Every structure is written in structure tokens, then in C-alpha cells.
Amino acid sequence: MTRVDHAVVSGTFSLDGETHQVDNNIWVVGDDRECVVIDAPHDVEAIMDVVGDRTVKAILCTHAHDDHVRVAPALRERVVAPIMLHPDDRPLWELTHTDHLWDLDLADGFELTVGGTQLRVIHTPGHAPGAVCFHAPELGCVFTGDTLFQGGPGATGRSFSDEDLIKESIRARLFALPDDTVVHTGHGDDTTIGAERASGL
Ligand SMILES: [Zn+2]
């Protein structure tokens, strides 16, 4: 039976010379045998507590802000799984990791199967150029990283962000999903596509 497991991990986010304290969600999707990890913030042990003894098939990055990818290379060493990132986030990745790259490029429409369920990549630039969401149609949920939160779009005030683009991504791609799709975000509480569409952009 495929399930979604979750933990909140605390640390910092730095960009444009400012550092903020943040709580990040990590999401683990899979069954009793295998899983994927969505985002790798702050703390390998906290992520491994959720993974347990399962085989990790991939480390999926919603985008390359340091609070989402800081321990991705360390987690890769621990579980021996590829890090997957949309290549448009290379400039952000290189702000955090100068001596490691990711392993596989994500692209819009890319599909991956874990524990018998499908995850489909939706490229949603705006918060970051390579920001992606992972839609799991059979689970009725979408993992949106920092693109869509409970209450609206992610921040676009910093470098490499674009407010018009994030709104277009949400309208054209995320609001095309069914209303009852549960939105698992990069920070804070869940919402639904219907609730966010109703509150407008
Ligand atoms: Zn971010």
C-alpha cells in the first residue's frame, strides 16, 4: 500500500545576503519496500527516521534553495540514490553546493513509479526557474515545494524569482488539477487545489 509520510525539519534559509530561520516539510512517498524522498533540508537523520529501512529510489528536489537541498549530497551518500533536479535551478544549486552536482535532470512530464504509484513532474517556474511539483494522481495529491502554499503562491521577492511567472504556473498547471487534490507544501500546512483556486491569486 503506497503512503505519504512526513516530517518537519528546522534550519536556515539564506539568499541575497539574508538568513532566516525556517521549518521545512519533507515528504516520503512509497510502500514498505521502497520510497522516494521529496526535498532534503537540514538534517539527514531526521529524513532517515521517516525512510526507515526502505530502499530510496530517488531524492527529488522541488527546487534548489539551500533549505531544500542542503543535505541532498549527504543523503545520497547514505542511501545511494540519484538526486534529481530541474536543470534551470543550476545557479541556485551552485550557491549551496560548489563541489557536488545532482545526478539526473527533471523535465516537465517526466514520470516515475514508486511503490506501484506514479509521480509526474510539472514544471512550475516562478519561485525558482527550475521549480517543479510532483503530482501523484492515484494518491490524489501534489507536492508543490514553495510554488503553492496554504494561502497562495510562494515568495518571489528574491533573486531568480518572478511573480508573474509563478502566478501563470499556478493558474495554468496547478489549477488544472482536480479540486480535491491535496496540496503538500514545502513549508506549513496542507491545502487543496480547490481551496486555493477559490481564494484567488
Ligand atoms: Zn524556496
Question: CB 19: neighbour CB atoms within 10 A?
Answer: 10
Helix or strand run (H / E) with residue 21? strand 18-30
Say what the pLDDT of residue 147 is. 98
Question: Structure pTM?
Answer: 0.97
What is the distance in A from the centroid of ligand 1 to the CA of 186? 8
Say what the pLDDT of residue 93 is. 98
Per-residue pLDDT of the chain (201 residues; tens, 9 = 90+): 899 999 999 999 999 999 999 999 999 999 999 999 999 999 999 999 999 999 999 999 999 999 999 999 999 999 999 999 999 999 999 999 999 999 999 999 999 999 999 999 999 999 999 999 999 999 999 999 999 999 999 999 999 999 999 999 999 999 999 999 999 999 999 999 999 999 988
Q: Give phi and psi for 164, each to the nearest 5.
A: -60, -40
Q: Which residues contact 159 (CB under 8 A, 6 or more apart)?
A: 15, 16
What is the distance in A from the centroid of ligand 1 to the CA of 177? 22
Helix or strand run (H / E) with residue 67? helix 66-69
What is the distance in A from the centroid of ligand 1 to the CA of 165? 15
What is the distance in A from the centroid of ligand 1 to the CA of 33? 30
Q: Coil, helix or strand for 92? A: helix
- 84: cell is 534529481
Say what the pLDDT of residue 23 is. 97
- 73: cell is 549530497
